[in-house]
């Protein structure tokens, strides 16, 4: 168990300690003054637009203030448009992307439910962990990390197994793989198996079509292609997912993420307190969504693709290659093979200290073998790719 959780005897302040503490207070330095801007080109968070920072600094309103409720309603509408859904139950849950994942599963899974989790990276593995903690009968199909889920194999499994729910990660951030969400959704159409889709890394950077793909529960995070700081998890539940929640035999075992309770705050004429919404974070998300719509969603998606192609070409010139085959590559998360003889951690450290650029390391079986370069939201710009390529050229000693 982690040290912080061990029982410790409360320490009594030594004589005179209060005076020392008061003296220290007078000399406090503000660590925030030492923060320097870092170009965030890792797997998230991404860099934040100045307009979003400005939105976060607007005056805090009460969580039931009528003007704030108008902003909440606008956010729901914008989220529906970016998700391409008519789902009434669409809102930003309080918490990071994992809270979205937990919200989807904790509301839709009951003990003993047979569920199928499709895994080809860290985040599919996390869904398995959550589903098993909920007492589901969890089946998994595992695909090699760095390759996509294969719909034909899933179709075969669906013929032999009876499931209540199938879960997939659209954009597997741990490997840079785009999974075939539309095809998996098509396999489930017409049946009563719920389809849960993780769009934490894809939403806002790639077209997501929740309704056309038959998605019943979709969740995301604010800090990737939506380019807001971390802290919110947009979620959406289809009418039949809502019906499943209402007909549960057991209570949702998590009070904070129980959608039937949260909906009373986010929907209807009269709003009821559930928990105090993170008001300023919601301003930030609202502003980030407005920026995306002002640019135009299609233009945003094209920008992500363009910078991805620029990066792939530039890395090629440096003799670096991508892990994932071109047909399954994510534009916003590029897994780059670390060349033989190069110290991957040292390159990341030098990028951060000398060039003020953050990129990510590999996870699980890919630790030490890849770098993860994010081109998400506000980060996804030509000048940022130029800056990173220049820095890599200098570090790797290429002409």
Binding site for ligand PLP (CB under 6 A): 43-44, 96-98, 101, 123, 169, 173, 198, 200-201, 221, 230
- Between 169 and 336, CB nearer to ligand PLP: 169
At its nearest, how many Å lie between ligand PLP and the CB of residue 272? 27
User: For ligand PLP, which residue has the nearest CB?
Assistant: 97
Q: What three-state secondary structure class fits 124?
A: helix
Q: Cα separations (Å) of 289 from 81, 120, 285, 368?
A: 10, 30, 6, 35
Any alpha helices (H) in the chain, and if so which ranges?
17-26, 50-56, 66-83, 97-108, 122-133, 151-160, 181-188, 239-246, 259-266, 279-295, 297-317, 344-355, 382-396
Edge-to-edge strands of the sheet including 370-374? 333-337, 370-374, 360-361
Q: What three-state secondary structure class fits 239?
A: helix
- Between 85 and 96, CB nearer to ligand PLP: 96
- Between 68 and 198, CB nearer to ligand PLP: 198
- Between 201 and 389, CB nearer to ligand PLP: 201
Phi, psi values for residue 107, rounded to 5°:
-85, -30
At its nearest, how many Å lie between ligand PLP and the CB of residue 254? 15
- Between 97 and 151, CB nearer to ligand PLP: 97
Rounded CA gap, 222 and 200, in Å? 8
At its nearest, how many Å lie between ligand PLP and the CB of residue 127? 8
Tokens of 226: 């939506």
- Between 92 and 221, CB nearer to ligand PLP: 221
**Closest C-alpha to 207, from 231, 236, 178, 229:** 178
At its nearest, how many Å lie between ligand PLP and the CB of residue 101? 6
- Between 43 and 377, CB nearer to ligand PLP: 43
At its nearest, how many Å lie between ligand PLP and the CB of residue 330? 10
Calculate the dihedral angle through the C-alpha atoms of 267, 271, 275, 280, rounding to the nearest 10 degrees: 80
Looking up tokens 């075969």 gives 156
Let me know: does 102 contact 313? Beta carbons within 8 Å: no
At its nearest, how many Å lie between ligand PLP and the CB of residue 230? 6
At its nearest, how many Å lie between ligand PLP and the CB of residue 202? 8
């Amino acid at each position: 168990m982690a040290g912080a959780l061990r029982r410790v005897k409360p320490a009594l302040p030594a004589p005179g300690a209060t005076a020392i503490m008061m003296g220290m207070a007078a000399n406090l330095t503000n660590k925030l003054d030492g923060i320097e801007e870092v170009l965030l080109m890792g797997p998230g968070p991404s860099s934040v637009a100045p307009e979003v920072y400005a939105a976060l600094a607007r005056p805090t309103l009460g969580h039931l203030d009528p003007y704030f409720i108008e902003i909440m309603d606008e956010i729901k509408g914008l989220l529906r448009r970016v998700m391409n859904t008519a789902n009434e139950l669409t809102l930003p849950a309080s918490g990071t992307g994992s809270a979205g994942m937990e919200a989807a599963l904790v509301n839709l899974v009951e003990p003993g439910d047979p569920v199928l989790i499709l895994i080809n990276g860290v985040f599919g593995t996390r869904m398995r962990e959550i589903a098993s903690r909920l007492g589901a009968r969890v089946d998994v199909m595992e695909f090699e990390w760095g390759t996509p889920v294969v719909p034909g194999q899933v179709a075969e499994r669906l013929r032999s197994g009876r499931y209540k729910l199938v879960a997939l990660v659209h954009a597997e951030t741990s490997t840079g793989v785009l999974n075939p969400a539309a095809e998996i959704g098509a396999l489930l159409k017409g049946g009563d198996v719920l389809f849960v889709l993780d769009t934490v890394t894809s939403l806002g950077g790639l077209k997501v079509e929740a309704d056309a793909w038959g998605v019943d529960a979709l969740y995301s995070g604010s800090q990737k292609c939506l380019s807001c700081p971390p802290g919110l998890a947009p979620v959406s539940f289809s009418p039949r997912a809502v019906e499943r929640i209402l007909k549960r035999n057991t209570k949702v075992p998590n009070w904070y993420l129980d959608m039937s309770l949260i909906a009373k705050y986010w929907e209807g004429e009269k709003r009821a307190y559930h928990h105090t919404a993170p008001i300023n974070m919601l301003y930030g998300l609202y502003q980030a969504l407005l920026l995306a719509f002002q640019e135009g969603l299609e233009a945003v998606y094209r920008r992500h693709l363009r910078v991805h192609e620029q990066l792939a070409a530039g890395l090629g010139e440096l003799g670096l290659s991508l892990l994932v085959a071109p047909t399954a590559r994510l534009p916003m998360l590029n897994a780059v093979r670390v060349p033989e003889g190069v110290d991957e951690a040292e390159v990341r450290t030098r990028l951060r200290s000398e060039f003020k650029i953050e990129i990510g390391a590999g996870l699980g079986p890919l630790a030490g073998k890849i770098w993860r370069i994010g081109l998400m939201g506000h980060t996804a710009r030509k000048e940022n790719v130029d800056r990173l390529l220049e820095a890599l050229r200098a570090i790797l000693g290429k002409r």
